[in-house]
Amino acid sequence: MSIPHVTLSGSLLTAALALGGPALALTPLQTVTIGDAGSHGSRGPARRAPNILVIMLDDVPPYFYEQFGAAAPFVLDAPFSPANKANDPINGTNLFVQAPNLQRLAERGVTFLNAYANSACTPSRASILTGLYPHGNGFGGVPHTDIDPAPAHIILEFGDAPFDVPTLAELVRPAGFRSGHFGKWHLAAWNSGVEFAGSGWSHIPAAGHWDEYKSSFHNPPVPPLPFVEAVQRLSGSHYHWIKNSNGVIDEIIDPAQKCGDLSAEYYTAEIQFNDAKEFVVDAPQPWLASLWPNTDHAIFQDPPDQGVATPEYHLVDEIQSFDLQGASGGTFEARFMGQTTAPIDYDATNLELEAALEALSNIDDVVVDGGPLPGTVSVTFEGSLADTEVRSLLLTNLDLVGAPARLPVETVRSGDCGPTAWHAFQAALEYMDLKLGEVLDALEDSGRLERTMIVFTSDNGGPKLIFEKAAEAKAADPSISLGAIAEALLHEDAGNRFKKDVYEGGTRVPLVIAGAGVPQHMRGTTTDALFHLVDVYPTIAALIGEPAGSVHGVDQGPVLRGEVAEVRDEVLSHLFAPNGDYTPISGLRSKKNFNDIGYSKRLPACGSVPAGRYKIIKRYNAAGTGFDIQLYRLEDGSGTPVDPFELDDLSSDSSYDCQETALETALAALLAS
């Protein structure tokens, strides 16, 4: 294909941007080499290359963080207080997570309020590693190996030819960087029939080109592990997972097993942040570290207690351990972390719980012994009682053991440990913020913080599961107000506004870029500039003075330095399957055969239709006959939101044909690059 090239020096770029207004119009696929001596792009001997830390959370949208200016997802008409919890379908958790360390990071950098990803884990990770949209790196969705027969245009793993494009680790190596990857990978299909030291694990250094790695392969649950027969087989979780440290395989498993004592020693976030922390302190400088924690991807589990600051996120129980002995009886302990709203008569409460348990037909002689909350309630009994029966009983009788209210607890998948998905999701965010603070402290104590650029983001929007209880409550009582964001995300006409779809709710992500490359006068600022994860690659390239090559991303350095308001006027979020060349797609739509595009662009006025940022959504239809098209006006010409949740489809209004045509033309050019 023919690739246009643009080569600009730092001063020329600034002039070009100034002449072009707030945004520089760039060709869809370009080579951008930016930098001059003494500036951010210099490689002269007087300049030390910066360190780079890229943190990508999993399934975390921006609207849980106050730093991104979002309205709280669940907002009551009255201010939050224990007295009005009864009006909230999830008992008052209409609070932002407490994230002081993210705020600390934001005060050292620029917070982007219009940052975008590809709406799913795998394509976003491929884009941040390559600076290319999915059609450029071949990865539009989760990899599958069971497509038989596999057409010639399909690739099975990231980096397979003809999409063997350079990665971030390869980009920085010529500048003397050491690279390390920590946490989730998820860029190759897992074949349970392949040995752990075989092609599955070897893909991380082979395709990612990391100098070292300590990684999980993909999401919990883990596949069967034939080499650890002594351990009772459980589904994977954030306390039971497989870690590969440069070829050495470990099974991380809490000895208390499912719903155990929640020891930080085994928790994904604890281990993965600690591994990255060790690297960024000990590795020779300069270095590139990629930290992709698994935490906050389903399954949803409470983190260890000490990392959670908001009491409301610990309203529910954890079944701590079981010693069930069949017909001869047994014991179990249930751990309750709820905050009480009034003194509790524990003797009376325990008697009530004993009566409730004895009401079951298959046990008797129940003795309950417990203490003040948070704490542990021990139960002994005669007879037989299944784990699921215990769980169900406790989750429907929380008020008997001191929780402040009976909660709408959803049915949880095997491996989940009691809390609602909402509570566990929020609690895990707070735990990761605690670990972020430890990484920042370690960098500061080692004298490396100021020399390090830190990119903090996520791979896609949030999962629908964490809102499902609110949706059920809303369906039962339409008068309930869930707050502007949740009402829009769950609107009956909205469809799927979450991860795995290309609407705004699935594609918007949090983003802070801090430290090296951000001058003092820009630290602590926010920007409405458009940003896509493909921009990380060329931004790092420009910072270290290396050529980015042919990429879809643009260098966001001018925005970070406050030289311009914006350097891109379009963003693309693209999902497709199978991976490879998506264009020959045909046949019925399925989980392994689809093509969904969300593309927005700032457009001038056209006739009577006003200027603004318009968005076209193209989804390969169920019948396999072509694309269904929707059109939205997200913002007006000044950037003020008009329809930010895409509830007003303009595609049937012929007066907007001009804007739709302009989007189709620009999109076709981008997809051809």
Per-residue pLDDT tens over the stretch 362-375: 555 656 555 443 34
Q: In the prediction, which pLDDT does 459 show? A: 96
Query: What is the Cα–Cα distance from 663 to 570, expressed in whole angstroms?
Result: 10
Mind listing the pLDDT tens digit for each residue in 20-31?
333 333 435 544
Q: What mean pLDDT is predicted for residues 194-222?
A: 73
Q: What mean pLDDT is predicted for residues 425-438?
A: 91
Least confident of 16-30, 149-163, 251-265, 379-393: 16-30
> Is there a contact between 108 and 518 (Cβ–Cβ < 8 Å)?
yes
Mind listing the pLDDT tens digit for each residue in 58-94?
999 998 888 886 544 433 333 333 333 333 433 334 4
**pLDDT exceeds cutoff 90 at 210:** yes
Average pLDDT, the chain: 74
Q: How many helices (H) and strands (E) does the chain have?
A: 16, 21
> Is there a contact between 627 and 636 (Cβ–Cβ < 8 Å)?
no
Q: In the prediction, which pLDDT does 522 show? A: 98
Angstrom CA distances, 165 to 160, 162, 413, stand at 9, 8, 38
Q: In the prediction, which pLDDT does 159 show? A: 85
Cis-peptide into 374, omega within 30 deg: yes
Mind listing the pLDDT tens digit for each residue in 276-322?
999 999 999 999 999 999 998 887 777 876 677 776 565 443 333 33
* Residue with tokens 């918007």, as numbered in its chain: 508
Residue 609 is which amino acid? V
Mind listing the pLDDT tens digit for each residue in 130-174?
999 999 999 998 876 666 555 677 887 788 888 999 999 999 999
Complete DSSP assignment for 170-235:
HHHGGGT-EEEEEEE---B---TTS-TTTHHHHHHHHHH--SEEEEE-SSSSPPP-TT-TTSPP--
Q: In the prediction, which pLDDT does 313 show? A: 64
DSSP 45: T
Which long-range CB contacts under 8 A does 99-103 form with residues at least 24 apart? Answer: 99/65, 99/66, 99/67, 99/429, 99/430, 99/433, 100/433, 100/437, 101/433, 101/434, 101/436, 101/437, 101/440, 102/65, 102/67, 102/433, 102/436, 102/456, 102/512, 103/67
Query: 400 or 160, which is more confident?
Result: 160
Query: What is the Cα–Cα distance from 31 to 547, expressed in whole angstroms?
Result: 8
Cis-peptide into 149, omega within 30 deg: yes
Q: Specify the pairing of strand 109-116 against strand 525-532.
A: parallel
* Confidence class for position 95, pLDDT limits 50, 70, 90: low
Q: In the prediction, which pLDDT does 14 show? A: 32
> Is there a contact between 627 and 574 (Cβ–Cβ < 8 Å)?
no
Q: What mean pLDDT is predicted for residues 336-351?
A: 42
Q: In the prediction, which pLDDT does 257 show? A: 46
Structure tokens at 465: 């599961």
Instruction: Please enumerate in sequence order all residues whose Cβ is within 8 A of that of 500, keeping only pairs 6 or more positions apart, or say none.
Output: 119, 120, 460, 506, 575
Give the predicted TM-score (pTM) of the model: 0.78
Q: In the prediction, which pLDDT does 256 show? A: 54
Q: In the prediction, which pLDDT does 89 show? A: 38
Q: In the prediction, which pLDDT does 662 show? A: 97
Query: 597 or 361, which is more confident?
Result: 597
Q: In the prediction, which pLDDT does 401 show? A: 37
Q: In the prediction, which pLDDT does 28 show? A: 53
**pLDDT exceeds cutoff 80 at 232:** no
Share of the chain above pLDDT 90, in %: 41
Query: What is the Cα–Cα distance from 612 to 208, expressed in whole angstroms?
Result: 39
Q: What mean pLDDT is predicted for residues 473-499?
A: 66
**pLDDT exceeds cutoff 70 at 231:** no
* Confidence class for position 424, pLDDT limits 50, 70, 90: confident
* Cα three-residue angle 61-601-609, rounded to 5 degrees: 120
Highest mean pLDDT among 313-327, 354-368, 384-398, 519-533: 519-533
Share of the chain above pLDDT 70, in %: 60
